[in-house]
Structure 1
Amino acid sequence: MTGVTLQKAIKRYGATQVIHGVDLTIDDGEFCVFVGPSGCGKSTLLRMIAGLEETSDGQINIGARDVTHMDPAERGVAMVFQTYALYPHMTVEENMGFGLKMNGVDKAEIKRKVDGASKILKLDDYLKRKPAALSGGQRQRVAIGRSIVRGPEVFLFDEPLSNLDAELRVDMRVEIARLHKELGTTMIYVTHDQVEAMTLADKIVVLRAGYIEQVGSPMHLYQDPDNKFVAGFIGSPAMNFVNGVVEGGGVRVPGLADRVVPTSVGLPAAGTEVIVGVRPQDMALAEGASPISLDIRERLGGVAYDYLTTPTGERLIVESRGDMAMEEGTQVTVSFDDDRVMFFDAKTEQRLR
């Protein structure tokens, strides 16, 4: 059993602390994704697990071993980076087996492991090629294969798809998901792309400024976020936020329908400002006399994204499906499902429940 546990993990650079007492348990065989905006500490945390960054305080365990101060080579991990880091003068086969060769592994054993990884990653036809003759996606598969042959206890991925074009990103995302299903090994994956997080993860860790905001399954974070940051980060397009005021057992939303939205959540006193969150998928447009007009419409085939500005200045996105013919500049009314609305404290941004 090889899970990963962090206990009060801290990282400092001089007097500056960038990781703040992180407690986290990643179960054996779990696919865990660290996600968050640039500078949130996700790559630093991954590098601490790998041993590429020194842990200033706290403890990191891989399986039953305390690896906090172990060298990277002793931790039983393999890391796949954003850059492929392949040797240009070596073939695919040589790149994949080079680490084993340097460790004195027998040639027959190297070939067996390289052939096994090649079969998993569908690289059999490319083993004699050099990196220059490969596409970006093929090069990244070689980098992953180089990690597989080491037989690590934990795979670490640091934004491995960020250098690929959109189509290849989708293809490689599927390949990595299949790889995890086939190997069943613990994998930790860093990305700023919440779509990658939602499609790959068993568990998502949302980070901000070196703190964990929330941990949970993709759908748990989507359906039950703890705060405005998580609600706005998880889901594409992002959740809409507008200002509201507590009134008569509900919340009046002046920027939308200017009506009181009923709710059973615990609200502060009447007259208190709150933040109202509605996902684009839970809203609908109709033509009608209104101070709201359709600013921009992005047509993506079977779905369209409509961009609006409310009378109070908030920007909204509404997801529309079907062939609704509505031109930019049209006056529109906005409706939404009251049961799908979320409310957040205007000061702390914590979810009101």
Structure 2
Amino acid sequence: MSGVTLNGAIKRYGDVQVIHGIDLEIEDGEFAVFVGPSGCGKSTLLRMIAGLEETSDGTIRIGQRDVTREDPAERGVAMVFQTYALYPHMTVRENMGFGLRMTGHDKAEIKRKVDAAAEVLQLEKLLDRKPAALSGGQRQRVAIGRAIVRGPEVFLFDEPLSNLDAELRVEMRVEIARLHKEIGATMIYVTHDQVEAMTLADKIVVLRDGRIEQVGAPLDLYRDPDNRFVAGFIGSPSMNFVEARAEGEGFHAPFIDQLLTLPVRKLPEGNKATLGLRPEHLELDHAGSGFTVELTEALGGVSYAYIVSDATGERLIVEERGDERSHTGDKVGLRFDPSRIMAFDAESGLRIR
């Protein structure tokens, strides 16, 4: 297996540049996840690594090899797409072994590799079935098995769970995590779903407009984002953001009409800031006032109260646990630990540390 290194990777379509000088190192055996909103360049970057998109400038290395100009078949990668792309007239065994058959491997070797991959993916009892007789999750496992039998240096996944229902997505997340642990391969995974990113990744790469916003371990990005974009993108529900301004030794926050002293560097007096508060770091005061509950989502062990500030109209989401839960129309107050608040420069979006 091998790691992947990008140095100054650029992608242009004519005069339009969509990937802007990406520098990134993915270690051997690491599970890296590319996340970001639609159009941020995550799939384009994955396809550049695969060789399906030409790299306009910069270099891509797999292990010690510069593969920037190599054909996809020569790069030692295998890709699993959003669509299963299985041959309907072939059995599972034939689908998984098709690539090896096309490259001239003998039947005994193909059988050995397919049987080994089927065992890893728990497909042994399905080898003689055709795709029409499989569930969506089983078909995706076959597509992954087809990649495994090739013995690639790097596995590339392009939103492989998008076509599955919610229950199957959870099941396949577990399957892919187990697969990575079992074979220890380098894997790069593209998704727009930050829950998938948080649960699967060793390293998350957050992209926006063809640039890297931040790279790090899932909990590091969650607890210590560099800017407002990352803070809002990582976490479900999203972080709450409210307006404030630098005043004295802290920030005046109109949404509660209080001066908050935070353990961060002071901005020039009067400068605007944005304060970020995670839903789980807020608590409703049912005897208080200042906010109105617009909606409560009761999900069993946890509820999310959507509240609006009576003073500013700003909306926040508050996580609720325990027996006492809010109801639509309730008048409530808000409690929180100021040390949990993150502050961002209102103009640049950068974290104030």
TM-score range, shorter chain: over 0.9
Please give the secondary structure, in 2, of the residue aligned with 1:68.
coil
Alpha-carbon shift at residue 289 of structure 1 (Å): 4.7
Q: 1:206 corresponds to which residue?
A: 206
Letter of the structure 2 residue corresponding to residue 107 of structure 1: K
**Where does structure 1 differ by over 6 angstroms across 4 or more consecutive aligned residues?**
none
Alpha-carbon shift at residue 11 of structure 1 (Å): 0.2
Please give the secondary structure, in 1, of the residue aligned with 2:125.
helix
Unaligned runs of 5+ residues in structure 2 are none
Q: 1:286 corresponds to which residue?
A: 285
Q: Is the deviation greater in 311-320 or in 131-140?
A: 311-320
Q: 1:223 corresponds to which residue?
A: 223
8 Å contact kept, 2:303–2:325: no
Distance in 2 (CA, whole Å) between partners of 1:223 and 1:57 is 34
Distance in 1 (CA, whole Å) between partners of 2:326 and 2:15 is 56
1:296 aligns with 2:295: yes
Q: 1:263 corresponds to which residue?
A: 262
Alpha-carbon shift at residue 95 of structure 1 (Å): 0.2
Please give the secondary structure, in 2, of the residue aligned with 1:265.
coil
Distance in 2 (CA, whole Å) between partners of 1:327 and 1:24 is 47
Aligned CA-pair RMSD:
0.8
TM-score by length of 1: 0.98
1:132 aligns with 2:129: no
TM-score by length of 2: 0.98
Alpha-carbon shift at residue 264 of structure 1 (Å): 2.4
Q: 1:116 corresponds to which residue?
A: 116
Q: Is the deviation greater in 331-340 or in 210-219?
A: 331-340
Distance in 2 (CA, whole Å) between partners of 1:146 and 1:38 is 28
Letter of the structure 2 residue corresponding to residue 49 of structure 1: I
Alpha-carbon shift at residue 327 of structure 1 (Å): 1.9
Alpha-carbon shift at residue 37 of structure 1 (Å): 0.4
Aligned length: 352
Q: Is the deviation greater in 246-255 or in 2-11?
A: 246-255
Q: 2:271 corresponds to which residue?
A: 272
User: Identity across aligned pairs (percent)?
Assistant: 69
Q: 1:341 to 1:246 in 2, by over 3 A?
A: same
Distance in 2 (CA, whole Å) between partners of 1:327 and 1:215 is 39
Please give the secondary structure, in 1, of the residue aligned with 2:168.
helix
Deviations 1:319-349 (A, max 9, x none): 1111214221010111111111000001000
Distance in 2 (CA, whole Å) between partners of 1:341 and 1:273 is 16
Please give the secondary structure, in 1, of the residue aligned with 2:198.
helix
Unaligned runs of 5+ residues in structure 1 are none
Letter of the structure 1 residue corresponding to residue 128 of structure 2: K
Q: Is the deviation greater in 124-133 or in 321-330?
A: 321-330
Please give the secondary structure, in 1, of the residue aligned with 2:98.
helix
1:145 aligns with 2:140: no
Q: 1:339 corresponds to which residue?
A: 339
